[in-house]
């Protein structure tokens, strides 16, 4: 199946934007000393916080709730890493589709 050149160009542009988004998020999170928020970081934070609220809402004991919430920061970091890898690999796949020779 032949993919039109215009569709490949659009896929390459989307892929480049995804890779750029991941790169900006990585730099803003790990390198810049001040607070730099990106939509990717906020989305991961909202999803993980929502999951932990859902998990801890039926827990009545403060000690047990505190033990569960102690893992929240690590879960946010792991979720951020997973999001960066997913966005970067998806963007690279879309972007590299542009350079494939036609059969």
In the chain, the number of structural domains is: 1
Complete DSSP assignment for 36-70: ---HHHHHHHHHHHHHHHHHHTT---HHHHHHHHT
Domain assignment present for 86: yes
Examine residue 37 and state whether it is found in any structural domain, yes or no.
Answer: yes
Q: Is residue 99 part of a domain?
A: no
Domain assignment of residue 15, yes or no:
yes
83 in any annotated domain: yes
pLDDT of residue 69 exceeding 70, the answer is yes
Residue 43 belongs to some domain of the structure: yes
Q: How confident is the model at residue 1 (pLDDT cuts 50, 70, 90)?
A: low
Q: What's the average model confidence in pLDDT over 3-9?
A: 82
pLDDT computed for residue 102 by the predictor: 54
Q: Which tokens hold the place of 69?
A: 């919430």
pTM for the model stands at 0.78
Domain that holds residue 65: 5-94
């Amino acid at each position: 199946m032949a993919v039109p050149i215009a569709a490949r160009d659009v896929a390459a542009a989307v892929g480049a934007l995804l890779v750029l988004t991941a790169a900006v998020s990585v730099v803003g999170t790990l390198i810049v000393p001040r607070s730099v928020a990106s939509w990717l970081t906020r989305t991961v934070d909202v999803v993980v916080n929502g999951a932990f609220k859902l998990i801890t809402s039926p827990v009545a004991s403060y000690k047990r709730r505190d033990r569960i919430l102690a893992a929240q920061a690590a879960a946010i970091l792991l979720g951020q890493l997973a999001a960066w890898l997913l966005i970067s690999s998806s963007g690279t796949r879309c972007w590299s589709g542009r350079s494939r020779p036609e059969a």
